[in-house]
Amino acid sequence: MDEEIFLTKEGHKALQERLDFLKSEKRDEIAKKIGVAREFGDLSENSEYDAAKEEQAQVELEILEIENKLRFGKVINQNKIDTKIVNVGCFVKLKDLDFNDEFEYKIVGDTESDPAKGLISNNSPVGKALLGKKINENVNIILPQNNNATIRLKVLGIRA
């Protein structure tokens, strides 16, 4: 694993629940599909069998990925977050200096990132630019996915 994996307590729990589901219910469901497909006869021209085996491979890959995230992931202790600077796990209140809008993001690891819900990855352009910033600091963020547009933000607050 190249980059450190950060998880909130809730994110860790969600991954564990997904893993439990995949290892029990989903594996059983796929095993039944494979069994039914085998009954159709010749496996060399059996599209149902091929589809079930492909689904099985995808589920096993997801299981392996989740196990690695749980094994190597660092669970963020909300009580130990330094709120003097922006860190993974903290909420950051920001002001868009161009549009005069205020909003708040939570900086999370890639696994939990969901910008529509205000959860920004520490590896995203915005997350990377905010890490280590203090209250009242301005930050200019270049967005490569948006023709290198620049957004100008001011850190208004940091909380755990």
Looking at the structure, tell me whether residues 153 and 91 fall in a common domain. yes
User: Of 22, 54, 75, at which residue does a domain stop?
Assistant: 75
What's the domain range around 105? 78-159
- Please state, in angstroms and rounded to a whole number, the distance separating the CA atoms of residues 106 and 48: 43
Question: Does the residue 112 lie in any domain?
Answer: yes
Element (H, E) at 82: none
User: Of 75, 105, 133, at which residue does a domain stop?
Assistant: 75
What are the helix (H) ranges across 7-46? 9-21, 27-38
* Per-residue pLDDT tens listing for the chain (160 residues): 467 899 989 899 999 999 999 999 999 999 999 988 888 777 677 788 889 999 999 999 999 999 999 999 999 988 888 899 999 999 999 999 999 999 999 999 998 999 999 999 999 999 999 999 999 999 999 888 888 899 999 999 999 9
